Amino acid sequence: MIDYLIIGSGLAGISFSEMALQNNKTVLVLDNNSQNSSKIAGGLYNPVILKRFSEVWKAQEQLALMEEFYLVLEKKLNTKVDFKMPILRKFFSIEEQNNWFTASDKEALTPFLSTQLISKNYPGIDSPYAYGEVLHTGYVDTALLLNNYRSFLVENQMFREESFDYSILQVENGFVRYKDIEAKHIIFAEGFGLHANPYFNNLPLDGTKGELFIIKAAKLDLDVIVNTSVFILPLGKDLFKVGATYNWKDKTALPTDEGKAELIERISEILNCEFEIVEHFAGVRPTVKDRRPLVGTHSDYSSLHILNGLGTRGVMLGPAMAKALFDHIENQIPLEVVIDIKRFRPKNQK
């Protein structure tokens, strides 16, 4: 019997898998490649919501945990996946500058917002009002991480590429049985695929479609991430990842003409140089209306658990939420109310 059967190998699934392995537990991961939002994600980590100049929930804790988490993973996989890089917020007015300085005086934001304006001229971008620098930022190459981690699981007979058939899952007293597998616990980390899960599909998981480009811009010279209405992330060799759109109606993972037009318009507002679209891709982020993850244990079955709803901040949230769920299962440490799926139970149900 294994300790954990994990359904899904996106950021949620591998975060929990790694948390379990680091604590000497046995795991088996199943995935059918139906969800791609983790792989195509920008992978940025940023402790500040730049639209409103407000702090990301529990940013300090998440950053400390993720830094250690990805460092261990890099050693395990012998692959660099965490790239420290400043994020610069382009200002469009004096008023935005003033709002930045006001925010930087707030206790929660002081560690993250530099009070030194960056007035460097980056070829390809006009910025007469300069930039504000966010500290403790960077990106995780999510595609590289997930591919290499899956290879690690395959090499160690801890991965199967297959669709999960919920109808043949047997929930026994204290364990689950699935085909030839017996496990003490099952972790559902299917992302937007949660809607097919009869045990947890009553939870209010929404899907927010995002579309991104890889562009080539020979005259754009950046060694930082620029964030405005989109982010522009340098990949090297004149290539840049640019995104992302937000569509709450379309739940397909297919690129659209509308998304393409929106991205082109936004990029054209920022760049004053030519660019060509090398690649256009899309995915559906698993999001929750209250902007908090879905973490917890089924109300009727103590062996069934969920880790989902990481939304746009999966690289920051994944390690922290995996740890919270692992500690909840193994050490009976209560989950915070704001992430526990119990918050969505009817008030007359315990």
- pLDDT, one tens digit per residue, over 117-150 is 999 999 999 999 999 999 999 999 999 999 999 9
Whole-number Å distance between alpha carbons of 342 and 245: 31
Contact 5, 247 (CB under 8 A): no
**Better pLDDT: 42 or 292:** 292
Contact 211, 280 (CB under 8 A): yes
Residue 131 pairs with which residues in a beta bridge?
A: 90, 118
pLDDT(349) > 60: no
With a pLDDT cut of 70, the percent of the chain lying above it is 98
Buried b (16+ CB within 10 A) or exposed e, 212-222: bbbbbbeebeb
Mean pLDDT of 207-222: 95
For β-strands 225-227 and 87-90, DSSP reports them as parallel
Burial class (CB within 10 angstroms; exposed 0-12, middle 13-18, buried 19+) of 51: exposed
Report pLDDT for 347: 60
Place of tokens 């680091």: 22
Report pLDDT for 207: 87
- What residue ranges do the domains of the chain occupy? 2-44+143-204+290-344, 84-136+206-286
- For the domain spanning 84-136+206-286, the CATH number is 3.30.9.10
Nearest partner of 172 among 160, 185, 163, judged by Cα: 185
Name the residue type at position 312. Answer: T
Confidence of residue 346 (pLDDT cuts 50, 70, 90): low
Name the residue type at position 185. Answer: H
Contact 168, 161 (CB under 8 A): no
Mean pLDDT of 161-176: 96
Look up the CATH superfamily of 2-44+143-204+290-344: FAD/NAD(P)-binding domain (3.50.50.60)
Burial class (CB within 10 angstroms; exposed 0-12, middle 13-18, buried 19+) of 143: middle
**Can you give the pTM of this predicted structure?**
0.93
Contact 190, 308 (CB under 8 A): yes
Place of tokens 């529990």: 58
- Phi and psi angles of residue 279, each rounded to the nearest 5 degrees, phi first: -150, 145
Contact 315, 142 (CB under 8 A): yes
Report pLDDT for 39: 75
Residue 4 pairs with which residues in a beta bridge?
A: 27, 185
pLDDT(350) > 70: no
Cβ contacts of 188 within 8 Å, gap of 6 or more: 7, 8, 194, 197, 199, 200, 304, 305, 306, 307, 308
pLDDT(5) > 90: yes
Report pLDDT for 229: 87
Q: How many CA atoms lie within 13 A of 133 on its CB side?
A: 13
2-44+143-204+290-344 and 84-136+206-286: identical CATH topology: no
Whole-number Å distance between alpha carbons of 268 and 21: 46
Mean of the per-residue pLDDT values of the chain: 94
Whole-number Å distance between alpha carbons of 336 and 334: 6
Maximum Cα interatomic distance, the chain, rounded to a whole number of Å: 66
